[in-house]
Structures are given as structure tokens and as C-alpha cells.
Amino acid sequence: MHVPPLTALTAADPDVARLIEAESTRQHDKLRMIASENYVSNAVLEATGSVLTNKYSEGYSGKRYYEGQQFIDPIEELAIARAKSLFGVDHANVQPYSGSPANLAVYMAFAKPGDTILGLGLPHGGHLTHGWSVSATGAWFNAVRYSVRRTDGMIDFDEVRDLALAERPKIIWCGGTAIPRTIDYPKFAEIAREVGAVLAADIAHIAGLIAGGAHPSPVGYADVITTTTHKTLRGPRGAMILSTEEHAKAIDKAVFPGLQGGPHDHTTAAIAVALGEAAQPSFRDYAHAVVANAKALAAALVEQGFDLVTGGTDNHLILIDLTRRDVGGKPAARALDRAGIELNYNSVPYDTRKPFDPSGIRLGTAGITTRGLTPEHMPQVARWFADAVDAGVKEDDAALDRIAGEVRDLLDGFPMPGWTRV
């Protein structure tokens, strides 16, 4: 049953209530391994579902365009203070609606349409908003893309530097959505400084690892840092932009009135709660446990004969190349989902298949670590992976359903916030 119980909703709108109940049970019963997902705490859920959703507060604390900000101002100030303290930055804007709008604000602050920008290509692990063709950022800017090496899947810094020197981009993006390795911020900073570009570090996936000391921080290297708040950071759907004092005004103006209207105050409050949680010693343990689980799972997957892009992982994320296993990412992901293991199909670098039917699957350990799984569980998880992919190829639905039952049995011992057995 959903926690808190959906009493009013069940009475008012049983159709929606039933679907939310079903989704909360699904989240309980599956190994949720989509690399960008997690489970938020009951405290974050309560703040997200509060009456703050009723309020409008365009502007910033002390400079709003609407009355009645007596309690909204201190909530947003609290979120900002906690963000600054957690990441050790001069300035934080907690109003972006999500990661993509936060990145758009960086363009708004530092570039004009038609300007050149440099980012990691989407098929190599970059994000749509780092200048990919179908994104507004690719359509409105002259986007140049760097790659990872064919040989080892690692970022090719010689190429980054050559492109930066030849193209003179206004903004260089580092970070991405399918990078299993540590980002070398000092190297990016050196290149950005050499060509006079703004270095934007997008830490959407790894913000929680950075906050918990399990991944190096871009602070001191990047001019501006964007992040979602809902991935490893384990907060509500939202985003933040962090910067030095030098860029504070430009960032704030770009978010409002540049791109957005009223901030989502219920989200701001939930971000404050999540940042408070991330400042606890237990969150440091969590961040390190996420990486320990990913490393243990990577080793166990290799043992099961899977090829991993870059051969392993330094963070929460693993990218499996299924080419040698002779199965596409999409049918593999579908079989795994039926077997109770939820992830997404994904392109691998230099993929010979199409983006909608690529060669890889991407997974992460943020969610299962929140559930309490440890490295001891990872050999079993890897065996389920191998069995499910093979059963998928053989269209052995009975085997997939048997695995889903075993997954459910394991997860019964690891409660999740937001759901309880009745």
C-alpha cells in the first residue's frame, strides 16, 4: 500500500488511485536499475506532496512579484544555503524545473543563438542538451561534438583540445548520461582556459556521489555546474545551477525571467530536505556503497561473459555492449523487465545499430543501494542478468517469470519508502 495512504484520492478518483497503487507495488517488486532513478525518502515525498504546490513566487527571495512569501522565502533560502554548503560553492540557483531547463539557462547566460558550443556526442554518452541535433541546443547553436576512443571507450582529450582550438566554442560541456568513468575536471578546465570558453560541468547523474565524496568534484574547475536533484542525489524531480560569485547574476537572470515563470515551491522544499539528508554522515556511506555495488556488479557481469564499455565502472553506472552476445539492447531490456530487472536499452560508442534498436543496455546501482542491497548480492543479480537475457533469446517466458519471482522474494527483505505491505 502507498505511504502515506491515498485515502482522499481513492474516494475522489479511484482510477488514478489504483494506478498509483499499482506503480508503488511495481517499484517495490522490481530491481529498479535505470541509472537515473532512485527512491526518495518519506520526508521528501511529504514535502513534494504539500500545499506549497498552491503558491506562486516569481522572482527571488526579497524580490518577488507576488505577495505572501513569508514562508516561501525562508524555504528557498534554506535550499540555497544547504546547496552552497554541501557542494562548497559561492552561489546556487534551485529554481530550474529540471535538468534540461537548467542546461538551457547556461546557454542563455553565456551564449547567443548561432554561437559555437562543444559537448560529448549523445551516442558517446553525452546528453541531448549538450548540442545533439534533435535538441533545441543543436538546432539553435553551432554544436561541435567530441567522442570517446574506439579502443577503450574513454574520452579522447587530444580530440577535445584540437576541436576546442579549431572551433573556439563559447561553452564546453563535460559530463553525460552514459559515462561509467570518472570525469577529469582539471583536464577539461585546462582546455577551456586555453581557448577562453566557459566550462560547464553537468553532474546530473553523479551529484550524489560528489556530495558523498565518492567522485571528484568539479568545484574550482568548472565555471558553472548544473545538476538534476533526482538521480544519485535522491531528491525530488528538479535541478540546480551552482557557480562562482562571478556568474551568479547571469545565471539567476537566465533562469528568471530568462526562461521560467514561477518556481515550483513544493519542489524547492523537497530539494532542501534532500540536501539536508545528503549532508548527513549516512549519505557518505550511501554514496560509497553505490560505487561498491556497481564495481561488484561489473565484476560479476564480466564473470557471466558480458562485455562492458570501458571494461568496468568508477561510479554508479554500467554500460553493457551485447554485440558479442548476439542480441539487441531492446529485446534484452524487455526480457529483463519481465524478469523483474528494470533498465533501459542504450547506444554504445560506435554502435552499428540504430538509436531506437541499439546494441547496449545501461544500468545503475543508485536505487538498489537505497533498498539496502550490498556487494554480496551482486553475483546473484549478475546470474539473473545472464539467465534472463538467454531466456529472452529463447522466448522462455516461464524462465523469465520464475526469475521475477526470485527477485520479488529477495526484495521483500528490503523495504522501500513510499510503500508498505498491508
Ligand X SMILES: *Cc1c(COP(=O)(O)O)cnc(C)c1O
The annotated binding site is made up of 122, 126-128, 245
CB of 176 to ligand X, least distance (A): 5
Residue 395 CA: distances (Å) to CA of 109, 330, 331: 52, 14, 10
Report in angstroms how near the CB of residue 137 gets to ligand X at its nearest. Answer: 11
Query: Would you name the residues annotated as active-site residues?
Result: 56, 58, 202, 228, 231, 237
Minimum CB distance to ligand X smaller for 34 or for 43: 34
Q: Distance between CA atoms of 281 and 164, rounded to whole angstroms?
A: 40
Helix (H) or strand (E) segment spanning residue 120: strand 116-120
ω into 281 cis (within 30 of 0): no
Closest CA to 249 of 81, 76, 93, 69: 93
Beta bridge partners of 243: 91, 224
Residue nearest ligand X by beta-carbon distance = 99
Q: Which residues bind ligand X (CB under 6 A)?
A: 36, 98-100, 103, 127, 129, 175-177, 202, 204-205, 228
Enumerate the known binding-site residues for (6S)-5,6,7,8-tetrahydrofolate: 122, 126-128, 245
Of the pair 93, 129, the CB lying nearest ligand X is at 129
Using the minimum distance from each CB to ligand X, give the nearer residue, 91 or 127.
Answer: 127
Beta carbons of 96 and 108 less than 8 angstroms apart: no
Closest to ligand X by CB, 69 or 135? 135
Closest CA to 266 of 288, 290, 235, 243: 235
We find the least distance from the C-beta atom of residue 343 to ligand X, in angstroms, to be 15
Check: CB of residue 236 under 8 Å from CB of residue 418: no
Minimum distance from residue 83 beta carbon to ligand X (Å): 16
Candidates 214, 255, 245; CA nearest to 232 is: 214
